[in-house]
Amino acid sequence: MSSLLRLATAGSVDDGKSTLVGRLLYDTKSVLADQLDAVTRASVDRGLSTPDLSLLVDGLRSEREQGITIDVAYRYFATPRRSFVLADTPGHVQYTRNTVTGASTAQLAVLLVDARNGVVEQTRRHAAVLALLGVPRLVLAVNKIDLVDYDEATFAVIANEFATHATSLGYAEGEVLSIPVSALQGDNVAVKSERTPWYAGPTLLEHLEEVPVAPDPHDAAFRFPVQYVIRPRTPEYPDYRGYAGQIASGSVRPGDEVVVLPHGLRSRVAAIDTADGPLAEAGSGTSVTLLLEDDLDISRGDLIAIADRPPRVTDELTAVLCWLSGKPLSPGARVLVKHGTRTVQALVDEIGSRFDEQTLTTVDSPGTLALNDIGTVSLRLAEELPVDDYGDSPRTGAFLVIDPKDGDTLAAGLIGERFA
């Protein structure tokens, strides 16, 4: 079992995400005495009789003033069984882009709903975004169960509706779990509640500790975007030429035949170097420096791949975009595409369809994509890129869309036709 779980929270506004995260930190004893003192003092100042745990996480002045979470925050906590990195994301519609931010690296997402309201538009939208990004597992925390008198039937209706929705998005039964909780009272967060005797499943924390984390597919093809060329030109290393980068997928060993894209030059790996000495093998996620047998002209932006399973090289992309900007996208727009370590100019040819997360259907030729829209577009690139489909290799199947005028990140791009 992996020792580290990366998770994200998502949910509608005012459904108690910050309180739930505060409760998780508090119940795992991840809150130290001075932090709790500060929250207790601030709660007393606000006229509250018990510490408001949401104040542990709502770190910005305007968040505390408004009692809402504005921006994604990262939290670190641990139990004896596992360490957690939690991306705590806001629920407001205008901040859905932060949900995409938090979920792009998550292995599991906890969606919150208010038991009084059940599954709402924002729940469906967030679940669709999580499915699109390939987050492997979902948990629905049916919060404020105390406010519906711990009613089993209310919970069952919500859990069923959510399970149906998640299944239609492609989740298997074992990948989705609903848990009745009260973040405020602590029911079923870290401690099993006696007030929900009808619920036989794990507490949220038990589930987070036990849930299997899908490992990187062992047979993934080797992909290595070149970040930087290391050429010391020192008396000690006069001829050293190393290609530095982080392995995006697969693994590599000295002797492997590789191809350098987009040009297509071939060579073999002579050595895998690090500051701590050479390695006999290196796997996905590792930052290393590759030395090749031949003296090739390779620079930042090139991709080194295993020669017998190369990515496709293309100057046309069909991709799903999560549009994260207030500036809408229209056909004919000129944008930048940042893929791996290469940034190229691109022209938006066509917006083929927009996904409707309410009806789970697609709308053909929607004309534009606006904030929070998810749609399929065709892009023409000024230079060829070596790409994989996002479903096969997320790191080499993902890209950013950047506004060339001000540098803003406009969209998350996923190569392939997921909703077409």
Partner 1 sequence: MTTLEPATDAAQDNLAALESEAIHIFREVAGEFDRPVILFSGGKDSTLLLHLAIKAFWPAPVPFPLLHVDTGHNFDEVIAFRDEVVRRHGLRLVVANVQDWIDDGRLVERPDGTRNPLQTQPLLDTISEHRFDAVFGGGRRDEERARAKERIFSLRNSFGQWEPRRQRPELWNLYNGRHRPGEQVRVFPLSNWTEADVWHYIAREGVDLPSIYYAHQRKVYERDGMLLTEGPWGGPRAGEDVRELTVRYRTVGDGSCTGAIESSASTVDEVIAEVLASRLTERGATRADDRLSEAAMEDRKREGYF
Q: Which of residues 252-281 bind partner 1 (CB under 8 A)?
A: 274-276
Using CB under 8 A as the binding rule, the residues of this chain from 84 to 113 that contact partner 1 are 85, 97-98, 100-101, 104-105
Using CB under 8 A as the binding rule, the residues of this chain from 6 to 65 that contact partner 1 are 25, 28-35, 38, 42, 56-62, 64
Closer residue to partner 1, CB minimum distance, 164 or 287: 287
Contact status: 286 vs partner 1 (CB under 8 A): yes
Query: Rounded to an integer, what is the distance from CA 365 to the centroid of its chain?
Result: 28
Count of Cβ atoms closer than 10 Å to residue 384 Cβ: 16
Q: How far is the CB of 194 from partner 1 (least distance, A)?
A: 26
Contact status: 198 vs partner 1 (CB under 8 A): no
Among the residue ranges 74-82, 115-123, 175-183, 210-218, the one whose residues contact partner 1 (CB under 8 A):
74-82
Using CB under 8 A as the binding rule, the residues of this chain from 381 to 400 that contact partner 1 are 394-395, 398-400
What is the distance between the alpha carbons of residues 89 and 73, in angstroms, rounded to a whole number? 7
* Nearest by Cα to 417 from 318, 347, 351: 318
Q: How far is CA 317 from CA 321, 398, 399, 413, in A?
A: 11, 11, 11, 10
Helix, strand, coil share of the chain (percent; to 5): 20, 35, 45
* Nearest by Cα to 10 from 165, 117, 18, 322: 18
Q: How many residues of this chain interact with partner 1, rule: CB under 8 A? A: 75
Q: How far is the CB of 110 from partner 1 (least distance, A)?
A: 17
Q: How far is the CB of 365 from partner 1 (least distance, A)?
A: 27
Using CB under 8 A as the binding rule, the residues of this chain from 341 to 360 that contact partner 1 are 341
Closer residue to partner 1, CB minimum distance, 240 or 347: 240
Contact status: 76 vs partner 1 (CB under 8 A): yes
Please state the φ and ψ torsions of residue 43, each to the nearest 5 degrees: -65, -40
Question: Directed axis angle between helix 96-103 and helix 121-132, to 10°?
Answer: 30
Closer residue to partner 1, CB minimum distance, 197 or 326: 326
Binding mask 288-327 for partner 1 (x = CB under 8 A): ------------x-----------------------x---
- Interface pick for partner 1 out of 122, 412, 415, 416 (rule CB under 8 A): 412
Using CB under 8 A as the binding rule, the residues of this chain from 124 to 183 that contact partner 1 are none
In three-state form (DSSP H/G/I as H, E/B as E, the rest C), the secondary structure along 277-336 is CCECCECCCCEEEEEECCCCCCCCCCEEEECCCCCEEEEEEEEEEEECCCCCECCCCEEE
Compute the CA torsion angle 383, 388, 390, 395 (nearest 10 deg): -80
Cα angle for residues 342, 345, 348 (degrees, 5° grid): 125
Binding mask 207-246 for partner 1 (x = CB under 8 A): --------------------xx-xxxxx-xx--x---xxx
Q: How far is the CB of 195 from partner 1 (least distance, A)?
A: 28
Closer residue to partner 1, CB minimum distance, 87 or 138: 87
